[in-house]
């Protein structure tokens, strides 16, 4: 690169070099600034919300936390409103699943043999899918013999799959050890009662369960703060003790302190949650 070209490039890049990212930029994830990005909680799960292509940066989060005029941005309100919508939709699905399981009890009784056949059918279907993709690839490459060989494998698997499905239909759901599915009231996953500890622990520690637990805890904290702020604003459920040295205000067991402390707490809560 010539000196002249290098100088021109430096001049073009100058406005961008050293430019600090601002948390208010459009490409910054505002949910992440406030608490966490819901999309990141459910990647590679059945509850996936899709990818979030915005910036998730802890230094920008710290900048936002130190920003005094959060109310003017409404990030908190938008964040908790989104969490509320997600939970409302999930709880609706949980109710529907619960009603479906209880109204169609006979169809939801599981038998160990039937469960085993179902798992086998899923494995065969997945294998068939993989072979079809491979056969298609061979066809595109003109490898006729290889494609024919795979087609024979597919035919054999399809025949096996038909037999497995017949066995699933033939299983008596009332035979033995019948167990009705249950719905996890945190994440909506379907569970088999009395599962072994390892499987239950794996569910609880799983990404989907942990993600919805995080959302529920965040909303519970927000709602508690909203209740406290409501009490402080209206005086509902408050007592004021006037003594020789101090005036103290209490709202149940949630906030206790001097009038000045209460005012500071109110401002802090409003600033934190955008209420």
In tens, the pLDDT along 124-170 reads: 888 888 888 888 888 888 888 888 888 888 888 888 888 888 877 77
Which one-letter DSSP state was computed for residue 275? -
> Which of residues 168 and 186 earns the better pLDDT score?
186
Q: Check residue 149 and give its pLDDT.
A: 86
Q: What is the mean pLDDT of residues 115-119?
A: 77
Gap between the Cα atoms of 139 and 115, Å rounded: 36
Q: What is the mean pLDDT of residues 205-232?
A: 85
Mapped onto helix, strand or coil, the DSSP state of residue 21 is coil
Gap between the Cα atoms of 89 and 151, Å rounded: 44
For residue 189, give both structure tokens.
Answer: 């996953």
Q: Residue 253 CB: number of other CB atoms within 10 A?
A: 6
Gap between the Cα atoms of 147 and 137, Å rounded: 8
User: Are 258 and 248 spatial neighbours (Cβ–Cβ below 8 Å)?
Assistant: yes
Gap between the Cα atoms of 18 and 69, Å rounded: 25
Gap between the Cα atoms of 236 and 37, Å rounded: 35
Gap between the Cα atoms of 23 and 273, Å rounded: 17
Gap between the Cα atoms of 272 and 221, Å rounded: 11
Kindly give, in sequence order, each residue whose CB lies less than 8 Å from that of residue 31, ignoring residues fewer than 6 positions away: 37, 38, 75, 78, 79, 82
Q: Check residue 48 and give its pLDDT.
A: 86
Q: For the ranges 114-118, 138-142, 156-160, 229-233, which has the lowest average pLDDT?
A: 229-233
Gap between the Cα atoms of 194 and 178, Å rounded: 12
Q: Counting beta carbons within 10 angstroms of the beta carbon of residue 92, is it exposed (0 to 12), middle (13 to 18) or buried (19 or more)?
A: exposed
Q: What is the mean pLDDT of residues 232-261?
A: 44
Q: Where are the domains of the chain?
A: 102-208
């Amino acid at each position: 690169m010539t000196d002249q070209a290098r100088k021109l490039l430096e001049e073009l890049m100058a406005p961008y070099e050293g430019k600090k990212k601002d948390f208010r930029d459009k490409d910054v994830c505002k949910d992440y600034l406030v608490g966490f990005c819901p999309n990141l909680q459910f990647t590679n799960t059945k509850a996936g919300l899709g990818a979030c292509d915005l910036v998730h940066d802890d230094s920008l989060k710290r900048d936002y936390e130190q920003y005094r005029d959060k109310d003017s941005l409404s990030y908190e309100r938008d964040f908790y409103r989104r969490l509320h919508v997600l939970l409302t939709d999930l709880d609706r699905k949980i109710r529907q699943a619960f009603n479906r399981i209880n109204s169609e009890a006979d169809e939801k009784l599981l038998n160990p043999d039937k469960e085993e056949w179902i798992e086998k059918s899923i494995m065969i279907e997945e294998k068939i899918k993989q072979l079809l993709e491979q056969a298609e690839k061979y066809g595109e490459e003109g490898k006729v013999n290889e494609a024919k060989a795979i087609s024979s494998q597919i035919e054999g698997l399809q025949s096996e799959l038909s037999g497995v499905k017949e066995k699933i239909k033939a299983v008596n759901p009332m035979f033995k050890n019948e167990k009705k599915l249950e719905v996890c009231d945190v994440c909506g996953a379907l569970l088999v009662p009395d599962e072994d500890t390892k499987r239950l622990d794996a569910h609880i520690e799983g990404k989907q369960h942990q993600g919805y637990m995080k959302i529920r805890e965040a909303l519970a904290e927000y709602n508690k703060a909203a209740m406290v702020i409501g009490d402080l604003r209206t005086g509902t459920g408050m007592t004021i003790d006037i003594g020789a040295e101090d005036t103290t205000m209490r709202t149940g067991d949630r906030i206790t302190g001097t009038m000045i402390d209460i005012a500071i707490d109110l401002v802090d809560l409003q600033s934190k949650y955008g209420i």
